[in-house]
Amino acid sequence: MGRGMGIRTWALRKSLWVFHLSTGSCNNCDIEIIDCLTPRYDVERFGITLVGSIRHADVLLVTGSVNRRVAPKIRMLYEMAPRPCIVVACGTCACGQHMFKGSYHTSEPLDAHVPVAVYIPGCPPKPEAFISGIVQAAGQMGSLRTRV
Amino acid sequence: MTTLFIFLVFPGFLFTAFAGMMASWLERKITARLQWRVGPPWYQSFADTVKLLSKETLIPRGAVETVFLAAPLIGFSGVILSSSILGAVNLDPQRGFVGDLIVLLYLLMLPSLSLLIGGAASRNTLAALGVSREMKLMIAYELPFVLAVLTPVVRSGGIITLGGLVIFQQAHGGFLWSPSGALAFIVALLAVHAKLGWAPFDIAEAETEINSGPLIEYSGSLLAVFRLTRMMLLIVAPLFIITIFAGAGFRGWGMAWSVLQYLIVMVALILVKNTNPRVRIDQALRFFWRPVLVLAAAAMALACIGY
Ligand code: SF4
């Protein structure tokens, strides 16, 4: 906690609600995300929960290599989220399309569609890497306020 | 001035909101412990609320704007009013008015009603699904709930004020310890469980199915109001049935006894919540209209012949 942090920033950092979006992942990253909710990692300790509606989300967690069908929807979902909302790319696929780069079904990488704040590489990343990524996202929360 | 204080500070808005946040934390913490997790820190509900208040509030395109904005306030005012009346009567049983019991029954319906109105105004298919489920659930549990709540009235020979019921019970012992009262209490507990929208009756908000149903389009401060309503309902609804079935009041040792009863009821509800998977809406309807309604009717019949 930095000095002079307002109560709004504090609350934002202590209560991150995550919306999980798969853009054509192999499902492995998604399973590792669910791991974070299990007793071993229990991210609810830090106020992190998964929410079902993008309207409730503070973090847009994207997995997968962004295929053509889903590409227009990503921008739409991002616009639908109430600000401040941060995009986190999970897994090497979301970071840079991994082995699907240049494939017939993939569109541009994720950061060509929406501004990505945190990249979590790995195939799949370990739950520890996820938590560290979300914590980084929390650190950026206070400074993001307007629509990008 | 005192009336305003009752509504806005104690035992109305401020106090109940704080207590509700603690109750909601208790619920999350116990759930976490049951799953061998650590669970959120005590200030979690407070952080959630402040965060939601500071976030952007979006109104979906095509939604009925006024209704969409007004809906959360309807439920919120209902829960503030009911907490004020309930608290004031428990503090001083002489307060209250004839028929405040019936007024409370109606006020406690407002949170669900606001969910219906808000969800229907938000122009979302999943919200509409949630609304239809919530409506059916209300139809399912309201009838047994009203019967159960009226059982103490019949048992006490027609006392229809909350304060009167509290005084009666302080003189003659709680209704809970009589056969009719015990049956009605079980029915009321089940109805309150459904009212709170907890598993197995979280059909309307089914996170994994229709993505929180009526609330799906709500964001920012409007969502904060909805959540605060829900948290305050965590205090008001159990307290309501404790008042009419055990009626210890808030004076002297009554306070400690009431808090203890509240905690017991809460823990029981949380345990049921965590050990039961979600039922379908038709199963819920059948459950409330067959076994539960029969139980409520039996309680009423027992009360009529004086047991
Ligand atoms: S990064 Fe690896 S594990 Fe994750 S979606 Fe891509 S291929 Fe699957």
Distance separating alpha carbons of residues A11 and A86, to the nearest angstrom: 15
CB pair distance less than 8 Å for B44 and A45: no
Which residues of chain B are within 8 Å of residue A52 when distances are taken between CB atoms? 207-208, 211-212, 216
CB pair distance less than 8 Å for A82 and B219: yes
A120 in the Ramachandran plot: left (φ > 0), alpha (ψ -120 to 50) or beta?
beta
Number of domains in chain B: 1
The amino acid sitting at B85 is I
- With CA atoms as reference, the chain B residue closest to A147 would be B56
Which residues of chain A are within 8 Å of residue B41 when distances are taken between CB atoms? 45, 47
The CATH code for residues A7-141 is 3.40.50.12280
ipTM given for this complex? 0.83
- The length of chain A, given as a count of residues: 148
Residue B134 phi/psi, 5-degree rounding, is: -60, -40
> What 3-state DSSP class applies to B3?
helix
Which residues of chain A are within 8 Å of residue B39 when distances are taken between CB atoms? 42, 44-45
Contact A56, B219 (CB under 8 A): yes
DSSP A64: S
Contact B69, A76 (CB under 8 A): no
What residues have CB less than 8 Å from B77, skipping those under 6 apart?
B110
CA torsion, ordered A11, B72, B8, B231, to nearest 10 deg:
-60
- Looking from the CA of residue A26, the nearest atom of ligand 1 is 8
Bond preceding residue B72 cis, omega within 30 of 0:
no
pLDDT, tens only, B116-170: 998 888 888 888 888 988 899 998 999 999 999 988 888 888 888 888 888 888 8
Cα B258 to chain centroid, rounded: 17
Which residues of chain B are within 8 Å of residue A83 when distances are taken between CB atoms? 55-56
Distance separating alpha carbons of residues A12 and A142, to the nearest angstrom: 7
- With CA atoms as reference, the chain A residue closest to B207 would be A52
Within 6 Å (CB) of ligand 1, which residues are found?
A: A 25-26, 28-29, 63-64, 91-93, 98, 123-124
pTM across the whole model = 0.88
Whether A10 has its CB under 8 Å from any CB of chain B: the answer is yes
Q: Which of A44, A85, A141 to mutate to test the interface with B (most CBs of B within 10 A)?
A: A44
Residue nearest to atom 6 of ligand 1 (CA): A93
Whether B27 has its CB under 8 Å from any CB of chain A: the answer is no
The range of the structural domain enclosing residue B271 comes to 3-304
Distance separating alpha carbons of residues B178 and B302, to the nearest angstrom: 10
pLDDT tens for chain B, 307 residues long, are 677 877 777 777 888 889 999 999 999 999 999 888 888 989 999 989 998 988 888 888 888 888 989 999 999 999 999 998 888 888 887 887 888 888 998 999 999 899 899 888 888 888 888 898 889 999 899 999 999 998 888 888 888 888 888 888 888 877 888 888 888 999 999 999 998 888 788 877 777 777 777 888 888 889 999 999 999 999 999 999 888 888 777 777 777 888 888 899 999 999 998 888 888 888 889 999 989 999 999 988 888 887 7
Max Cα distance, chain A (Å): 51
